[in-house]
Structures are given as structure tokens and as C-alpha cells.
Amino acid sequence: MMSGLPQRDPAQQAEIFQAAKDAADITPTTANRLRYALALATPGHGGADPVAAQRQLSELLARPETLLPIERLLALVELKEVEQQLILASENKRLREETPHDSHDKLAALNRRLTTEMDENARLRKALEEAKAKLDAVMHIERSINDRGASGSAKP
């Protein structure tokens, strides 16, 4: 059942799942309840419910004397698998919710940095223009002095 359930078409999946559920409801033997819990735990079909599977498997394992050793082992392994799925699903959800927030914060920080850099570039351009103007003024004064000096040395 566990290997065939996710590989069937949706109609067959529903039929297999419903048969396991009905058997557990109508004749709640340990084997039928285990089969239903395993159907709930099997991913890849519409009836999969890891939370319900965890609950069912925990209930079965709470009375280990009702299970055969191989059933107990299978239930325990499947319970651990379901718990791992739930942990991963929870972590995945947290990361999905966190990512847009982190992305937004990173984007806002980058925008602030860009604005700061643009302001700094504008300030540096203005300082450069002022320095060029001063340099031009100094060069103009030097030319004037040199022109006067060249004019004064020509007259004895």
C-alpha cells in the first residue's frame, strides 16, 4: 500500500486511502489502524496528513503490547519519518516567511547605502569643482606675476 499509493492515479489513490480509512473506522483492529496511520503518513496523495499520522502512530505506540514486533518497528520508524517531515515543513514555512522580510531589509539597506554613496559623490564633485576653480585662479595669478616679471626685466 505504501509504495503503490503515491504511484497510482488520483482516483486509485483516493480509493486505496478510503479503503484503509473505512477499515480502521469499521473494524478498528491494530492492523487496520496501523494501515490507516501509514496511509496518512505516506506523502504524494491527497489524503496525506502528517499531523494526523503522527497522532495515530503515537496512539498505537502508546500501547506497544498490542503490536507485533515488526509492526512496532514499522510504526516507530514511520513516526520518526513523519516527525522529520513536520520539522522540515515547519522550517520551510519559517524560511519562506522570513525570506521576503530579509530581502526587504537587505534591499532597504542597499538603497540607503546607494543614497549615501550618491550624496558622497555629489559632495566630492562639488569639492573637485571648487578645487579646479581655485587652481585656475592660482594659475591665473601665476601667469600675471610671470607676465609682469617678464615685462619688468625687459626694461632696464
In the predicted structure, residue 148 carries a pLDDT above the cut 90: no
Residue 37 lies in a domain: yes
In the predicted structure, residue 155 carries a pLDDT above the cut 60: no
Residue 29 lies in a domain: yes
Residue 100 lies in a domain: no
Residue 152 lies in a domain: no
The three cell numbers of residue 98 are 522570513
The span from the CA of 156 to the CA of 146, in Å, is 17
Structure letter (DSSP) for residue 9:
-
> CB within 8 A of 82, min separation 6: which ones?
41, 50, 53, 54, 57
Query: Looking at beta carbons, which pairs linking 7-10 to residues 24 or more positions away fall under 8 Å?
Result: 7/44, 8/45, 10/45, 10/46
Q: What is the pLDDT of residues 24-83, one digit of tens each?
A: 999 999 999 999 999 999 988 888 999 999 999 999 999 999 999 999 999 999 999 999
pLDDT at 153: 56
Highest mean pLDDT among 35-39, 90-94, 113-117, 120-124: 35-39
Domain residue limits at 39: 10-93
The span from the CA of 44 to the CA of 53, in Å, is 14
Residue 30 lies in a domain: yes
Better-predicted residue by pLDDT, 32 or 7: 32
The DSSP secondary structure of 112-151, one letter per residue, reads: HHHHHHHHHHHHHHHHHHHHHHHHHHHHHHHHHHHHHHHH
Average pLDDT over residues 109-130: 89
* Number of domains, the chain: 1
pLDDT at 36: 95
pTM of the predicted protein model = 0.62
Residue 141 lies in a domain: no
Average pLDDT over residues 106-116: 87
